[in-house]
Amino acid sequence: MLLNFPNALTCCNLICGCMATGAAFHARFEWAMIMIILGAVFDFFDGMAARALHISSPIGKELDSLADVVTFGVAPSAMVFQLFGLVVYPEWLQPLSSYLPYTAFLMAAFSALRLAKFNLDERQTTSFIGLPTPANALFWSSLIVGELSWLVSPRFNAVFLFLFMLMFCFLLIAEIPLFALKFKNFSWQDNRVKYIFLAGCLLLLPLGVTAFACIILWYIALSMAAWKFHF
């Protein structure tokens, strides 16, 4: 039983993803976000448990990716699918209003590609190449829950949603290095980007639920600045 404990946690992640997907299809966005966050917690602890128990297996690795595809790929895609049914459509786009929502599942496909690349890419041991799928899922769930009234208002529309969704699909597989919050020591010289990021997070927290979406945008912007200017 102890040997299967990490896999049990991974299965809990998968169940959370299934529940989040079901909630999303019923427009229960708050519940979907809670399940995505809970799935991320299980995803964090299954790896920690495997390392603590010195358990590593090909099944565990494959199961982890399958669970992540559901929780961080399919579930946020289902939320965006439902959102496409609520947003305003320009008059010229009305004929496609029944079909455009299905493009949301492109994000699930790109999330699967992102996870496959991560499993094979040996460069991603201390940092990431492309946006991690949990960050993408947290961004969309936070944005939809926190800013739904704005997203369904005339100030936003299906065109913006489609383009925004495509941008995040690209970020999932882009060859852009993003830092990981892993500390080998606590010196400023080695961790200045991480400390700047954490300071920015503290300033964004008062925004409430939307803070999580803003934190992900801050994370992407800071990572790209650090990559571009080598600081």
Range of the domain at 36: 2-229
| Rounded distance between C-alpha atoms, residue 18 and residue 114, angstroms | 20
Taking the model in full, what pTM does it have? 0.93
- 1: pLDDT strictly greater than 70: no
Contact predicate 177/129, CB 8 Å: yes
> pLDDT class for 62, splitting at 50, 70, 90?
confident
**Integer Rg of the chain from CA:** 18
pLDDT of residue 2: 60
- 56: pLDDT strictly greater than 80: no
> pLDDT tens for residues 92-136?
999 999 999 999 999 999 999 999 988 887 777 778 999 999 999
pLDDT of residue 121: 75
Name the pairing type of β-strands 177-179 and 127-129: antiparallel
pLDDT of residue 61: 81
pLDDT of residue 182: 81
Structurally, the chain folds into a number of domains equal to: 1
- 3: pLDDT strictly greater than 70: no
Amino acid (one-letter) located at 54: H
Q: What percent of the chain has pLDDT above 90?
A: 74
Report the first-to-last Cα separation within the chain, whole angstroms: 46
pLDDT of residue 166: 97
Phi-psi label, residue 178: left if phi above 0, alpha if psi -120 to 50, beta otherwise: beta
- 161: pLDDT strictly greater than 90: yes
The CATH number assigned to the domain holding 47 equals 1.20.120
Mean pLDDT of 203-226: 95
Mean pLDDT of the chain, nearest integer: 92
Torsion of CA 169, 171, 173, 179, to 10 degrees: -150
pLDDT of residue 122: 75
| Rounded distance between C-alpha atoms, residue 59 and residue 78, angstroms | 27
Contact predicate 75/24, CB 8 Å: yes
| Rounded distance between C-alpha atoms, residue 176 and residue 220, angstroms | 10
Contact predicate 138/37, CB 8 Å: yes
Q: What percent of the chain has pLDDT above 70?
A: 98
Three-state SS letters, the chain: CHHHHHHHHHHHHHHHHHHHHHHHHCCCHHHHHHHHHHHHHHHHHHHHHHHHCCCCCHHHHHHHHHHHHHHHHHHHHHHHHHHHCCCCCCHHHHHHCCCHHHHHHHHHHHHHHHHHHHHHCCCCCCEEECCCHHHHHHHHHHHHHHCHHHHCCCCCCHHHHHHHHHHHHHHHHCCCEEECCCCCCCCHHHHHHHHHHHHHHHHHHHHCCHHHHHHHHHHHHHHHHHHHHCC
